[in-house]
Amino acid sequence: MEIEIRGLRKVYPGGVVALEGLDLTIPPGVFALLGPNGSGKTTLMRILATLLEPTAGEAYVAGHDVRREKGAIREMLGYMPQEFGFYPSLTAYETLDYFGLLCRMNDPKERRSRIEQSLANVNLGEYAGRKVSTFSGGMKQRLGIAQALLNDPRVLIVDEPTSGLDPEERIRLRNLLVELAGGRVVILSTHIVSDVAVTSEGMAILHQGRLRFSGKPAELLGRLEGRTWIIDIEEEELSRVREELFVTGVFRSATGMQVRVIEDEMSHPGGYQTAPTLDDAYVAAMNQEVGSVGMG
């Protein structure tokens, strides 16, 4: 089971182009959509969740057309939007009970079983009777995942699940998504590169509605193999280095400053090669059009 996207285009009223000719295949496993704010990640996810109609192009979720087979897609889909709210006066259990009914879980026993399982999956079992208004941000995010898991979806779409969470909650949520991926397509959008490095088997980078890269993180890293350098510099050299080289990161060291750069060959004295990171690759991909580094 996979998701096929062909020539997808979305233009909002007012002429804002959110997606432009997107071609993408998303295989089972955790798949990350990476890109800055406004790159079209949320638009793509909302189209796949049947909440938004594309302007042109096609998208199929497990063979079902997002335009014509919305009901079938919803039955196999779990969706957690970037921004969402719950009824604060309901308990976690009541919240899921409500969403369970909306998911056509008419059998009370089955619904109860699914709710308990979903809450257990996100480690909220012991808080089932607590009102949502008392939940922390991380607990609400996990409850958001729980509601998305209610119908045991084959496709799970989570939009920026880790934003705004403290480090511990972020790691917990990341691990949870990896655990849930078995046999499912889990699409995760984020602008936090380290989330992708840890969780994802596949990834795509979007920039201004266009696809910059799609493939495995290792493939992206492979394109920078032998081209990533670290240079020790004095602080006053930084602006000159920035002008001359493609800098992906700047750090302070005991002796001055270190910069990470991507160049085919290193002409600067004192530079030495290092292994590329996803941060390097992401910055390089984002700057494709400004020209220092081509990602192909």
Partner 1 sequence: MGWAEVRAAAIIVRREYQLACRAPAFWAVAALGALVAVWRASTGGTTAALGAYQAWQMVTYGVGALAILLAGAAAARDRQRGATELVLAKSGGSSGGLVAARFVGTWLSMLSIAAIVFAASSLGQAVLGGTPWRLGPYAAGLVRTAAPIALATALGFSLASLLTTPLAAGVAAIYWIVVPLGRSYLPTALDLTLTQHWREAALLAAGLVALAACLHARAIRGERERRAIGGWLSVLLLAGAGLSVLRTVHRGEDGLVNADPVLWAMASQTAIDGRQAPGFWLRDGEGRLVDLDQHRGRPVVLAFWGPASRGSVRALSVLGELAREHGEEGPACIAVCLDRDAGAMEGFAREAGPEVTVAWDRGRHFGVGMEWADSPVAVSYDVPAVPTVFFLDGERRLVERWRGEERLDGVAWRVARLLEGR
- Which residues of the chain form contacts with partner 1 (CB under 8 A)? 49-51, 70-71, 74, 77, 79-87, 89-90, 98-99, 101-104, 144, 147
Nearer to partner 1, 103 or 262 (CB): 103
Nearer to partner 1, 49 or 61 (CB): 49
* Residue 131 C-beta: closest distance to partner 1, Å: 11
* Residue 140 C-beta: closest distance to partner 1, Å: 11
* Residue 7 C-beta: closest distance to partner 1, Å: 25
Nearer to partner 1, 49 or 203 (CB): 49
Structure tokens at 19: 């997606």
Those residues whose C-beta lies under 8 Å from the C-beta of residue 167, and which sit 6 or more positions away, are none
* Residue 21 C-beta: closest distance to partner 1, Å: 26
Strand partners, 126: none
Nearer to partner 1, 60 or 98 (CB): 98
List, as own/partner pairs, every contact residues 89-93 make where C-beta atoms lie below 8 angstroms and the sequence separation is at least 24, other chains included. Answer: 89/131, 89/132, 89/133, 90/131, 90/132, 91/128, 91/129, 91/130, 91/131, 91/132, 92/119, 92/124, 92/127, 92/128, 92/129, 92/130, 92/132, 92/135, 92/143, 92/146, 93/119, 93/128, 93/129
Residues 262, 291: Cα–Cα separation, whole Å: 12
* Residue 176 C-beta: closest distance to partner 1, Å: 18
Nearer to partner 1, 25 or 136 (CB): 136
